[in-house]
């Protein structure tokens, strides 16, 4: 059926089965009634109905976190919170639909206004008197859920700014605000405007999208088990998998453990660990992203992967684009492009300074702001200064990342018009150089309780200093 003529051709058919005309035709023929029934409206309706489960799950987690610190949310308080959550999201939608009617100052700075509103909610929580425990508990739980919603709501506001929100229903945006397909504080697939560009319009494109989704889900399972295998072989934790491997492992400490040793870490293990940590992070992001994007493709949204072969990137900016695509898009959409466009009026004759400022706004300011508000529990308590101080190592990581991306972009600009195809030693040396850059700066972003000084000492120790 597949027209296999050689082992190599057979392998291509198996790995790219979602693009094989015979497989697509078979899928359409056997699932024709389902594909016809599973129209775009039904797919969106199913995803929208699932938001009630997502809201319940978020509320349950918030109640658990609140209970751990002595804040009790009653059943009536939970119902009020659910109603407030959907009312809040509906309000953001209505504001986006009627964007043209908003006051001029708000229309000029819609995202700044929205994020100011987010901080106003936190400020209100911090100043609610203890005499109103029910009110405080509801605001506290709501504040815990806000970091997950902030950037999703920001995409909805951008949709209103571009005049697209009025052409869609609230339910269309609702399933991207409370997505059952998951994700993180970073919206995978961005908003409905982006998803609509890749939505299946007929049964053939739906079949292709679903087959691609199945491939990604299978690949995600492979990457998850590859990550577990790597942990067993490299770090050697006491797991069932380690025992099945005969207890054999390299027994290399994790980067977090080695960084806490500072200048006393074993040198060989230190060099090996920074690269293994890079591979582990790539596998982690790839596996998680494949699961989310795979489900979206099953529902007919044939969008880009979150992580796509970053270890083959030949430049820092290319790696950053491939490693965590939707987080990169968040920083570009909300920080880089607004800054770059604003400065294009005042820095026409200073293109390098304009580029650096925009990169700094995204990779440093935006990156840090994202991770500050991500600390929902700490922010709900008003521990802003403590939160910022706890991220001091990441400040340095973001600074190094900013410089690396900026320099890489300048180098890419110089290569425009030149023959960029590198072969042999040149190509592999570029790839290894990218690995080394990201492996080293991750020293200041790795998990663990090591201080900034210990991480810096560990870095210098790698070079015998």
Per-residue tokens: 274: 């920074």
Q: Over the stretch 395-411, which tens digit does the pLDDT of each residue have?
A: 999 999 999 999 999 99
Q: pLDDT-based confidence at 245, cuts 50/70/90?
A: low
From first CA to last CA, the distance across the chain in angstroms is: 63
Average pLDDT over residues 193-214: 95
Q: pLDDT-based confidence at 1, cuts 50/70/90?
A: very low
Q: How far apart are CA 300 and CA 462, in angstroms?
A: 48
Give me the pLDDT at residue 193, please. Answer: 94
Where do we find the tokens 């684009």? 321
Give me the pLDDT at residue 9, please. Answer: 46
Q: pLDDT-based confidence at 349, cuts 50/70/90?
A: confident
Average pLDDT over residues 138-161: 91
Q: What is the DSSP letter of 301?
A: B
Helix (H, G, I), strand (E, B) or coil at 315: coil
Q: Quick check: 8 pLDDT over 70?
A: no
Q: Quick check: 59 pLDDT over 60?
A: yes
Q: What is the DSSP letter of 1?
A: -
Give me the pLDDT at residue 419, please. Answer: 59
Contact 307, 319 (CB under 8 A): no
Q: Over the stretch 283-312, which tens digit does the pLDDT of each residue have?
A: 999 999 999 999 999 999 999 999 999 999
Name residues whose C-beta falls within 8 Å of residue 102's C-beta, 6 or more positions apart in sequence: 95, 110
Q: How far apart are CA 463 and CA 459, in angstroms?
A: 7
Q: What is the DSSP letter of 252?
A: P
Average pLDDT over residues 138-150: 87
Residues linked to residue 367 through DSSP beta bridges, in sequence order: none
User: Across the chain, which distance is largest between two alpha carbons, in Å?
Assistant: 78
Q: Residue 286 phi/psi, 5° resolution?
A: -65, -50
Q: Which residue has the higher pLDDT, 111 or 241?
A: 111
Burial 306-326 (b: 16+ CB within 10 A, else e): bbeebbebbbbbbbbbbbbbb
| Best-predicted range by mean pLDDT (60-64, 244-248, 388-392) | 388-392
Give me the pLDDT at residue 17, please. Answer: 82
Q: Over the stretch 447-459, which tens digit does the pLDDT of each residue have?
A: 888 999 999 999 9
Burial 85-109 (b: 16+ CB within 10 A, else e): bbebbeebbebbbebeebeeeeeee
Q: How far apart are CA 142 and CA 122, in angstroms?
A: 10
Phi-psi region of 424 (alpha: psi -120 to 50; beta: other; left: phi over 0): left
* Long-range own/partner contacts, residues 93-102 (CB < 8 A, 24 or more apart): 93/156, 93/165, 93/170, 93/173, 93/174, 95/157, 95/160, 96/156, 96/157, 96/159, 96/160, 96/161, 96/165, 97/160, 97/165, 97/166, 98/160, 99/157, 99/160, 99/161, 99/163, 99/165, 100/163
Name residues whose C-beta falls within 8 Å of residue 64's C-beta, 6 or more positions apart in sequence: none
Per-residue tokens: 113: 């206004």
Exposed/middle/buried for residue 217 (C-beta within 10 Å: 0-12, 13-18, 19+): middle
Q: For the chain, what is the mean pLDDT? A: 89
Average pLDDT over residues 351-365: 95
Q: pLDDT-based confidence at 263, cuts 50/70/90?
A: confident
């Amino acid at each position: 059926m597949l027209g296999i003529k050689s082992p190599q051709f057979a392998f291509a058919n198996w790995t790219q089965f979602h693009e094989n005309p015979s497989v697509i035709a078979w899928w359409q023929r056997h699932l024709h009634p389902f594909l016809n029934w599973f129209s775009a409206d039904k797919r969106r309706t199913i995803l929208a109905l699932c938001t009630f489960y997502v809201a319940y799950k978020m509320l349950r987690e918030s109640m658990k976190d609140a209970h751990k610190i002595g804040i009790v949310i009653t059943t009536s308080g939970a119902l009020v919170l659910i109603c407030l959550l959907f009312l809040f999201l509906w309000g953001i939608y209505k504001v986006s639909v009627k964007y043209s009617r908003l006051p001029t100052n708000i229309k000029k700075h819609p995202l700044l206004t929205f994020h100011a509103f987010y901080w106003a909610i936190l400020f209100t929580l911090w100043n609610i008197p203890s005499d109103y425990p029910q009110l405080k508990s509801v605001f506290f739980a709501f504040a815990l859920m806000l970091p997950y919603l902030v950037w999703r709501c920001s995409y909805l506001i951008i949709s209103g700014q571009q005049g697209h929100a009025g052409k869609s229903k609230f339910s269309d945006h609702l399933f991207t605000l409370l997505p059952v397909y998951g994700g993180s504080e970073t919206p995978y697939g961005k908003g409905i405007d982006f998803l609509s560009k890749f939505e299946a319009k007929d049964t053939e494109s739906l079949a292709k999208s679903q087959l691609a989704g199945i491939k990604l889900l299978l690949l995600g399972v492979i990457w998850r088990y590859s990550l577990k295998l790597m942990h067993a072989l490299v770090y050697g934790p006491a797991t069932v998998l380690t025992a099945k491997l005969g207890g054999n492992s390299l027994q290399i400490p994790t980067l977090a453990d080695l960084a806490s040793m500072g200048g006393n870490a074993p040198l060989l293990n230190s060099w090996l660990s920074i690269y293994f940590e890079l591979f582990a992070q790539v596998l982690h992001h790839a596996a998680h992203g494949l699961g989310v994007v795979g489900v979206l493709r099953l529902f007919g949204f044939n969008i880009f992967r979150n992580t796509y072969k970053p270890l083959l990137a030949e430049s820092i900016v290319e790696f950053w684009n491939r490693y965590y695509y939707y987080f990169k898009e968040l920083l570009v959409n909300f920080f880089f492009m607004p800054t770059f466009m604003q400065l294009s009026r005042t820095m026409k004759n200073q293109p390098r300074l304009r580029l650096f400022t925009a990169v700094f706004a995204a990779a440093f300011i935006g990156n840090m702001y994202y991770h500050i508000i991500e600390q929902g529990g700490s922010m709900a308590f008003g521990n802003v200064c403590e939160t910022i101080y706890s991220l001091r190592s990441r400040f340095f990581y973001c600074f190094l990342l900013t410089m690396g991306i900026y320099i890489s972009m300048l180098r890419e600009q110089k290569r425009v018009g030149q023959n960029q195809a590198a072969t042999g030693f040149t190509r592999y040396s570029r790839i290894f150089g990218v690995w080394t850059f990201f492996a080293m700066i991750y020293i200041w972003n790795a998990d663990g309780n090591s201080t900034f000084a210990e991480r810096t000492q560990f870095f210098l120790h790698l070079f015998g200093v």
